[in-house]
Structure 1
Amino acid sequence: MRFLSPRLLLSVSALMVTQAMYAQQQKVVPYYPTSQQILESYIRQNKLDSTLKTIPLNSRINANWQGDAFWYVKRLAGNGQEYEYMNAVTGVKSKVFDQQRLVEGIKTATGKKTDATKLNISKMFFNADKSAITFKKDTTWLQCNLSTYQVTKTTDTLHDFYDNEKPLQSRTYRWESVQRDSISPDKKWAAYAKGGNLFVKEIGSGKESQITEDGTLDHPYGEFSWSPDSKNVIGYLIDPKKSKEVYFVLSSVPGTTRGQLKSHEYDQPGDEFTSYTPYIFSIAEKRKIKVDIDKIDFFGAPEAHWRKGSSRYYSYERVDRGHQRFRVIEVDVTNGNTRNIIDEKTKTFIYEQRIYTRYLPDTHEIVWITEQDGWRHIYLVNDVTGTEKLITKGDWVVRDIDSVDSKKREIWFTASGMNAGEDPYFIHYYRIGFDGKNMVDLTPAKGNHTVFFSPDRKYYLDTYSEVNVAPVTELHETGSRKKIAEIEHTDMQPLLATGVKLPEVFVAKGRDGKTDIWGVIYRPSNFDSSKAYPIIEDIYAGPQDSFVPKSFSPINEMQSIAELGFIVVQMDGMGTANRSKAFHDVCWKNLADGGFADRILWIKAMAKQYPQADTTRVGIYGTSAGGQNSAAAVLFHPEFYKAAVSACGCHDNRIDKQWWNEQWMGYPVGPHYEQQSNITNAGKLKGNLLLIVGEADQNVPPESTYRFADALIKNNKDFDLLTVPGANHTDGGPYGRRKKRDFFVKHLLHVDAPGRDIGEH
């Protein structure tokens, strides 16, 4: 049992007096439940969580297309299913089959009894005249005559199943290895490394020629690719650097009596990378030409993009370490001279993972996305002249490219923030001409959209919703955008019958007094407007994205936590993505900021409008980067945040992965890394803190949490620590989530959690 010191008892008493005065001013009473009331809250929470999992949502229709029609599975209450058939030409929807007759046929064919509402068919297709279906039930393929419902086992299962989620146009990412072919395009030569040097061999005669002589096994030539005319090889002199390792111990491996030491390679900020010096090798002349450019010391050897109709020029992409310069560089293979086709520089960062380039060799153009005008937009670049043309423009954000149609000279893309009066994070789908004209919104309805096209792109399914508005799925004809039919519209009554409160979208001004900060509010189902509830913030302030939910979902951890007697909130503060470049730039060399200046103002504005939100009792929790943020809250803002749960946090950006941290904190590693570290600032802890870590975390090394704990101990700070044996990057799983809730109940509601399995109640 943990006893409170007299000083701490006085502090708690003073806090409760302050809370009572605050509540009295607002004409509400602070909510402090009894042990019995808390037990009832846990029971209600468990029942609600279980009930919500059984409510059919149908927010993601997986269309299985065959020609101009598709079938899909409709979810029913109690995890049942029925199978719908949609004819896109007629706009008529019908059942695929009589489910009761089908299960009788299955029983006759297999001897197995099946629930008609739980067929669980994973794959199915029609024969040519739609008179029969072939389907997979468990591991058995069956065929059913839809006139007689005679079912037979079959092996005739050849069918081209279309993946709705597969992108129309694939793309490569800069941290992935480039696929290279050692055989020349004319199939006459093979290029390979031997003893660190480049050799080529005539495939017909087997005659071998050595092209380089200064390569070694320690510094070899490699990463070879051919020019289109098979006369030159592009390659690199490589200076290899082995990645350093990080370690962890598996303490509880079954059948052992000793912990097992494990390690894996893991680059951290400042670590040295393998470098590549580019060369051109002439096969006929057996000579090399060094490309007139510095060695590449970040990412790997890049892919060569050859200009159509020429074996003289190729270009490659280069991201400088530190993420402040991006180039597309043209190389003349006759002399190694270079020219920058694209050369983007910034004083903060270029978000490398969202750089988009698509090369159009037929027209000597590059489709490129950049934030150089302050918003993420699409440009068309002539790769001969280097001229740039802005295709999209405005105070809104291009989110992604769906496809580029070079023949029709159209770009299909997603964007946010274009529609006035909407949440600026809502995703809509558009197409636009290369000339920036004739932009069409494929998804004009208000909401957050997800679109899937038919294989021939004649049709598309548009599903849209809001966090508190049920999802609708519509079928549209692509060319005209005409709505053919409403496929599904989720019925809210089963959800509302549980008593659950739908979340509320709330908007308040950020630190500059101008920018809107968007967030959500979750309340308990038995919310009492005469009570003032503690506030808990779910935080993830990682700059790589935005994180507040925008689509409807009845199952949400925030709602689950709210059931225990809290108001739970989440918002995207400055420093996160998907808004303007200036909004995003707040994070630059400044991850400790975490958007807290905006978050605190948002919560205070929410409490001003809703006096049931008690700003004297504010907790916060997060995982990974959110674990860093939540711990930072009680280090840097303890006057506001009183309790924090931090799971597998990257508490010092020097310990975490190189690619993520250098992207936002910059390179080289400077004193700001140490100054913003939770470990360095451990002595500032006030309030209550629970640390959770998986001992086998391979995403953020577990020593990040252990070093933080060590610093807290050395500063004589009280905190709680939960290590989960064998767990990887995690919030602790079901056990950790229960401990998190118990922690907030104790420190914000000032009552002990039930502390036992409440399922029996």
Structure 2
Amino acid sequence: MRYTRFCLLLVFAANFSYAQKTAVTPYLPTHQQMLQAYANADRLDSAWKKIPVVTNIRPNWQANGKQFWYDKRVGTDATEYWFVNAEKGTKHKAFDAKQMANGVAAVLGKPVPANKLRIAVMFYGVDEKQVTFKIGKNWLKCNLSNYYCEKTTDTVFKDYDPTAPLQKRTYRWEANVTDSVSPDKQWTAFIRNGNLYARSLKGSAEIQFTTDGTNDKPYGEITWSPDSKHLVAYLTDPKKTKKVYYVLSSVPGTTRGQLESHEYDQPGDEFTSYQPFVFNIADKSKLAVDAEKIDFFGAPILHWRDGNSRYYTYEKVDRGHQRFRVIEVDVQTGKTRNIIDEKTNTFIYEQRLYTRYLPKTDEVVWITEKDGWRHVYLIDELTGKEKLITKGNWVVRDIDSVDVSKRQLWFTASGKNSGEDPYFIHYYRMGLDGKNMVDLTPEKGNHRLTFSPDRKYYIDTYSEVNVAPRMVLKNMATLKTVMELEHPDIAPLLNTGIKLPEVFVTKGRDGITDIWGVVYRPANMDSAKSYPVIENIYAGPQDSFVPKNFAAVNEMQSIAQLGFIVVQIDGMGTANRSKAFHDVCWHNLADAGFADRILWMKALAAKCPQADISRVGVYGTSAGGQNSAGAVLFHPEFYKAAVSACGCHDNRIDKQWWNEQWMGYPVGPHYAEQSNITNAAKLQGNLMLIVGEADTNVPPESTYRFADALIKNNKFFDLLTVPGMGHGDGGVYGRQKKRDFFVKHLLGTDPPARNSGEKASTAGF
């Protein structure tokens, strides 16, 4: 399906051919018209925020797994509570809000307006005739037949997270958990003066395993084998993490700036290394593991065979993200074997790596992109044999759970369902043998699921960016809908004049690949006028960013009301498509998908003459700040104005883990070649930089060094430093400055002179 409906709606029911033939003139408001536009935008912002649109519900399941309650906003300042019996397929209000408020007021001794009743924790009695909940710091028990309430201490109930996977998720690079005491409680291991010792807990015996450790280079990260016969420990070479600094200029009650610092690894910095050894309690021996030092991340988590303490496995990502291994170690010989050994010429998407160990069957569930798409494999640890579980030109987004007893895989994926947006997330269940794949969410849209405790029921919330969400309760056994829980009426929202965003798709730089984006436009757009285009950019390769869920309003919608067409696009180099689509970013972050973005906006203008691409602006935060500034440096022929907030303007200054993932290791000349700082002399358009002086995500000096380079190249720009602000876009003040900047440079008129009292919008997101 092609999404090219934009012009049809853009010109108020005029047909597409009429839009193509109609001449348009640039929208260039006078100052007075601009003041009115600000006032109108403020009015719309206020109106939208008052309209309740339910986009998601969180079920609070009862202990029996058959009933739940949820709350929803129903007015400017009111909440309703609903009770659902999933087994019976019924739904009713949980209580009468006015009577409940009176009952609560009686026991608390103070008025409680019904629309101010806020309950976050609540559970029902077995007979459903009484309910216990928390109001402020007070627990109350109320009879639902007469609304008599009393304080209670009977507050024990089984809490359940409906979004939780079947198994507790462990994170691959979390700190290695060590235990000094052996599993059989006979020994305790410890480090003394950098060396490894073990002492008997049943006597006075003590073993010194090593003599070559020092306080500067000690042994550490001790792990016992399950049978308590061996210890695994590492000879470490610690490297102190360097610090970055910032100054808090405006701390109340002080007259001097305060220097602050925090540890911060940057690309190329050294890491602590770990050389693995195995130690035998019986013969007090030390055995070197036949493996290179681990010099990236930390000491790994060890995975032992079920009922077999001779072998363990660990994971190793080589620095530079081009090799990933699952390595087996024989504790009797120190020999190693690669169970998984993946290599790539570009990068391994480490942030989305997944391994799930099945020790009872000696198997590993593993996600890799080695066939060009992100898919799931089942690995036999004993033989190394691989079995492809999922396959096709689509992407596994995440694994929810592996049901070991039923040998089933629960996962999310996108791009499998033809005829819809390839980014839409659907939920699936299938066997570990790659058979019996079931789509739990066949309806068109972007889906989010929550489950009952026993997974007999699930709630499916799905929507599109311009299609109101549906929240339905489904039966897992039949996959049929038990009942619709919520489907908000958006007519009140549309009655404000808001124009819902439109999806637009066109071909990318290769002439083959679809590039997807969204378009927001003013409520009072004149079809005879053309409007500047502003791109909200974030080209960080760690994900995709164009919104897919329905939202009543967002910043892009709000900016559009001042007289702009605002767009957001996922160009090549971002994630959640094919490996080739993603690989464009490799050693190439300055690319930022601009070739695709520019073609996309040109195609939009060809379809819709109201989009004036002779006046294009761009804004972004963090990696988006790098991208927005890069737009006016590397593509000044297209982008005319940019607002860049807390940008990582040089990938050598930013955080190590993110930048080496995409720019690689070691740090080569391509880092400098793509830096906004070293390319500052290329600036041609208008640029505003925003930075928080207390940014601990991207060091503030990234922006200051860019500003320094611009000044040295006699380039003129605006700089907003926000005292005390961390990583962000400048807050309400910064967002207002951003709008004023685009009004001045793209609409050619002055924003409100607020200091002299001109009335203007003060609303912010």
Question: TM-score if structure 2 supplies the norm length?
Answer: 0.95
Q: Does 1:662 align with 2:660?
A: yes
Match of 2:695 in 1: 697
Match of 2:281 among 280, 283, 286: 283
Q: Root-mean-square deviation (CA), in Å?
A: 1.3
* Residues 558 and 206 of structure 1: CA distance in aligned 2, closer, same or farther (over 3 Å): farther
When residues 553 and 206 of structure 1 are mapped into structure 2, their CA distance, relative to the original with a 3 A threshold, is farther
Identify which of 521, 532, 535 aligns with 1:534: 532
Partner of 1:367: 365
TM-fit CA distance, 1:759: 5.5
Give the superposition deviation at 1:25.
Answer: 8.8
Q: Separation in 2 of the partners of 1:111 and 1:71?
A: 27
Map of 2:744 onto structure 1: 746
- 2: CA distance, partners of 1:513 / 1:319: 35
Equivalents in 1 of 2:491, 2:385: separation in Å? 57
For residues 415 and 355 of structure 2, what CA distance do their matches in structure 1 show? 23
Q: Is the 8 A contact 2:163 2:449 kept in 1?
A: no
Structure 1 residues 548-582: Cα deviation after superposition (integer angstroms, max 9, x where no partner): 00000012100000000000000100000000000
Would you say 1:64 and 2:60 are equivalent positions?
yes
- Check whether the contact 2:375–2:389 (CA below 8 A) recurs between aligned residues: yes
Question: Which amino acid is the alignment partner of residue 572 of structure 1?
Answer: D
Q: 1:234: how far off?
A: 0.6
Compute the displacement of 1:324 (Å). Answer: 0.1
**Greater RCO, CA 8 A, separation 6+:** 2
Give, in whole Å, the separation in 2 of the partners of 1:605 and 1:759: 33
Work out the CA distance in 2 between the residues paired with 1:116 and 1:546: 42
Residue matched to 2:417: 419
Q: CA offsets, 1:593-624, max 9 Å, x none? A: 00000000000000100000001000000000
**Taking structure 1 as reference, are residues 590 and 760 closer, same or farther at Cα in structure 2, changes over 3 Å only?**
closer
Structure 1 match to 2:30: 34
Q: In the alignment, is the contact (CA less than 8 A) between 1:212 and 1:287 conserved in 2? A: no
Residue 42 of structure 1: how far off its partner (Å): 1.0
Residue of structure 2 in register with 1:11 after alignment: none
How far apart in 1 are the matches of 2:455 and 2:753?
55
Shift of residue 37, structure 1, vs aligned partner? 1.3
Kept in 1, the 8 Å contact 2:323–2:341? The answer is yes
- 1:702-757 deviations in Å (ceiling 9; x for gaps): 00000000000000001000000011101000000000000000000010111326
The answer for the alignment partner of 1:477 in structure 2 is: 475
Q: Which among 732, 735, 739 is matched to residue 734 of structure 1?
A: 732
One of 324, 335, 341 as aligned partner of 2:322? 324
Does the CA-based 8 Å contact 2:396-2:414 persist in structure 1?
A: yes
2: CA distance between counterparts of 1:103 and 1:650?
51
For 2:719, which of 721, 731, 750 is the aligned residue?
Answer: 721
Question: Which structure 2 segments of 5+ residues have no match?
Answer: 1-18
Match of 1:608 among 606, 619, 622: 606
Hey, what's the Cα distance between the residues in 2 that align with 1:726 and 1:110? Answer: 40
- Shift of residue 284, structure 1, vs aligned partner: 1.4
Equivalent position to 2:429, from 425, 428, 431: 431
In 2, Cα distance between the equivalents of 1:103 and 1:311? Answer: 61
Deviation at residue 24 of structure 1 after TM alignment: 12
CA displacement at 1:80 relative to structure 2: 1.0
Partner of 2:44: 48
| Cα deviation code 1:36-68 (max 9, x no counterpart) | 111111111122222222222221111011120
Give distance in 2, aligned partners of 1:398 and 1:184.
40
Give yes or no for contact 1:56–1:79 (8 Å, CA) kept in 2. Answer: no
Q: CA deviation at 1:666?
A: 0.3
Q: CA deviation at 1:435?
A: 1.0
Deviation at 1:165, TM superposition (A): 3.0
Q: What are the equivalent positions in structure 2 for 1:173-252 lying under 5 Å apart?
A: 173-252=171-250
Q: 1:759 to 1:572 in 2, by over 3 A?
A: closer
1:385 CA drift (Å):
0.4
Partner of 2:510: 512
What letter corresponds to residue 293 of structure 1 in structure 2? Answer: A
Partner Cα separation in structure 2 for residue 583 and residue 550 of structure 1: 19
Instruction: Tell me which moved more, 231-240 or 146-155.
Output: 146-155
Does 1:648 pair with 2:651? Answer: no
Letter in 2 for 1:427: I
What is the match of residue 4 of structure 1?
A: none
**What SS class does the counterpart of residue 121 from structure 1 fall into?**
coil
Q: Does 1:123 align with 2:125?
A: no
Shift, 1:166, TM fit: 3.2
Equivalent-residue separation in structure 2 for 1:111 and 1:337 (angstroms): 73
Q: Distance in 1 between matches of 2:629 and 2:664?
A: 22
Quick one: distance in 1 between partners of 2:286 and 2:347?
A: 35
Shift in Å at residue 207 of structure 1? 3.1
Q: Does the 8 Å CA contact 1:679/1:711 hold for their aligned counterparts?
A: yes
Contact 1:366 1:380 in 2 (8 A): yes
1:602-641 to 2 correspondence within 5 Å?
602-641=600-639
Counterpart residue number, 1:5:
none
Indicate the residue corresponding to 2:407 in structure 1. 409
- The aligned residue for residue 251 of structure 2 is 253
SS of the residue 1:438 aligns to = coil
The sequence identity of aligned pairs, in percent, is 69
> Equivalences for 1:343-492 in 2 at 5 Å?
343-492=341-490
128-137 vs 315-324, which deviates more?
Answer: 128-137
Change (3 A) 1:463 1:760: closer
Figure out how many residues of one structure are paired with residues of the other and give that number. Answer: 739
**Residue number among 754, 757, 760 corresponding to 1:758 in the alignment:** 760
| CA distance in structure 1 between the partners assigned to 2:746 and 2:736 by the alignment | 15
In structure 2, give the amino acid aligned to 1:64.
N
Partner of 1:583: 581
Q: Match of 1:675?
A: 673
C-alpha distance in 2 between matches for 1:434 and 1:268:
40
Q: Which runs of 5+ in 1 are unaligned?
A: 1-22
Task: Report the secondary structure of 2:749's partner residue.
Answer: coil
Cα displacement (A) at 1:140? 1.5
Aligned 8 A contact 1:174 1:299 in 2: no
SS in 2 for 1:501: coil
